[in-house]
Amino acid sequence: MPRGPMQTQDLRIALFSGNYNYVRDGANQALNRLVGYLLRQGAAVRVYSPTVREPAFEPTGDLVSVPSVAFPGRGEYRFSLGLPGRVRHDLAGFAPNVVHVSSPDVVSHRAVTWARERRLPVLASVHTRFETYFRYYNMAWMEPLIEAILRRFYRRCDALVAPSESMAQLLREQRMNYDISIWSRGVDRETFHPCRRSDEWRREHGIGEDVMAVGFLGRLVMEKGLDVFSDTIDELRRHQVPHRVIVIGDGPARGWFEARLPDAIFTGHQEREELGRAVASMDVLFNPSVTETFGNVTLEAMACRLPVVAAAATGSESLVSNGHSGRLIPPGRVHQFAEALKAYAEDPELRARHGAAGEARAMDFSWDRINQAVADTYVRLTRQKAVAR
């Protein structure tokens, strides 16, 4: 009996990740959500990633460990070493009909070669702007070289998915690939909602009712723009703008950040109800980073009815409407960031109006609809590859 057209439940996906669950970040949480959705739809998924003894959270689905070593100077991250015989044997036994690579590391390069040798479709998801990281380590001269390496990698893939239209357009301009679709991000409305705001929590942390709480949300690493954030707070202080700073997150640069912002409230890593309460108890999110391709933290703050002051860069540009739900400022412009925050401090009604507009925008993001778009891309690529054989 002839089979009908391929469906999601017919998929067998081999997913390669540089960090599936050993350090928590927005990218690997999106991947775990995707895998959970695919499994619920009847697809088969097997994940290949470096692992550690005590990961940040339990993985969704079957996880196969690939050999790796710690990054020099950033020991919390792992650098994959390739596809040894045991992993290749596992791959052959799983018999995927599509390969998904989510980071341009060694194991993903080998996986792309493995898939091309077997004429399997390869989808690459882009989660961060790796080429920009070197700016924060006095190595900006490497950016063109890294961009060339990324171009070679992504053009060996059949298609890319990017988390925002602004990122997709940048990838087209960089000639990374010409088949690029959108895999956006969703928001958990159970966690991120205005009703989570707590005046009691604010009082416990010494935040007065009439004082604007400026929030930072994310991993504490220099590439998140911690220097720009702290310089901007210095500017607010010089202009005697009443405010408090709330920093939610942890990471290797926490000591540096605490020294720069001695009066800030550092909550450390937060999860679920505690995370939602802390975010909703802010008054504005300040996100000066230019490395995100989407900006999960921006969307989460918007869902809590907060206006967002962000760098005008990929990701935030697709979420924040300048002058309507927040402010988009050219990257690194400390004075302009401070002016935007000052305006919110002086006008609570403006904060409320822009926060409400941001919440309305956040309600457009449904995880199931978003993840089905990736499944549809898998199906399309397998059909295209079958026709080309």
pLDDT for residue 293: 60
For residue 336, what is the domain's CATH number?
Answer: 3.40.50.2000
Q: Is residue 67 part of a domain?
A: yes
Identify the residue with better confidence: 135 or 41: 41
Question: In this structure, is residue 77 part of a structural domain?
Answer: yes
Contacts of 200 (CB under 8 A, 6+ apart): none
Please indicate, yes or no, if residue 2 is contained in any of the structural domains.
no
- Statement: residue 2 has pLDDT above 50: no
Same domain, 200 and 62: no
Distance CA 43, CA 36 (A): 10
CB-side neighbour CA atoms (13 Å) of 175: 4
Residue 312, CA distances (Å) to 215, 238, 294, 317, 362 in order: 18, 24, 12, 6, 18
What one-character-per-residue DSSP string does 287-302 give? E--S-BSS-HHHHHHH
CA geometry: angle 74, 80, 83, nearest 5 deg: 175
- Assess if residue 3 is contained within a domain: no
Same domain? 95 vs 202: no
What's the whole-model pTM score?
Answer: 0.67
Looking at the fold, whether 142 and 256 belong to one and the same domain comes out as no
CB 15 within 8 A of CB 35: yes
DSSP secondary structure letter of residue 60: S
Flag whether pLDDT at 135 surpasses 80: no
Reply yes or no on whether the pLDDT at 141 is more than 80: no
How many distinct structural domains can be found in the chain?
2
Least confident interval from 250-259, 270-279, 315-324: 315-324
Q: 189-242: per-residue pLDDT in tens?
A: 889 999 999 999 999 999 988 899 999 999 899 989 999 999 999 999 999 999
pLDDT of residue 280 exceeding 70, the answer is yes
Cα 33 to chain centroid distance, Å, stands at 13
Is 354 within a domain?
yes
Please report which confidence band the pLDDT of residue 27 belongs to, taking 50, 70 and 90 as the band edges.
confident
Give the Cα-Cα-Cα angle 237, 239, 245 (nearest 5 degrees): 30
Residue range 367-382, pLDDT digits in tens: 888 899 999 999 999 9
Of 248, 245, 221, 219, which is closest to residue 232 (Cα–Cα)?
245
Which residues lie closer than 8 Å to 302 by C-beta, 6 or more apart? 187, 308, 319, 320, 325, 326, 355, 358, 359, 361, 362
Please indicate, yes or no, if residue 1 is contained in any of the structural domains.
Answer: no
- Give burial (CB, 10 Å; 0-12/13-18/19+) of 6: middle
Shared domain check, 250 and 304 = yes
Expressed as residue numbers, the domain containing 134 is: 8-186+366-388
Strands 159-162 and 122-125: parallel
Residue 264 lies in a domain: yes
Question: If pLDDT is split at 50, 70 and 90, which confidence band does 137 have?
Answer: low
**In this structure, is residue 143 part of a structural domain?**
yes
Please tell me whether residues 198 and 151 are part of one structural domain: no
**What pLDDT, on the 0 to 100 scale, is given for residue 4?**
62
pLDDT band for 3, please (50, 70, 90 cuts): low
**Quick one: pLDDT at residue 320?**
92
Same domain, 75 and 19: yes
The per-residue DSSP string of 36-49 comes to HHHHHTT-EEEEEE
In terms of domains, do 354 and 206 share one? yes
Tell me, what's the pLDDT at 333? 95
pLDDT of residue 75: 65
Angle between helices 296-303 and 26-40 in degrees, nearest 10:
80
Write the DSSP string, 356-379.
HHHHHHHTT--HHHHHHHHHHHHH
For the record, the structure tokens of 32 come out as 């775990």
Whether 380 and 353 share a structural domain: no
State yes or no: pLDDT of 317 exceeds 90.
no
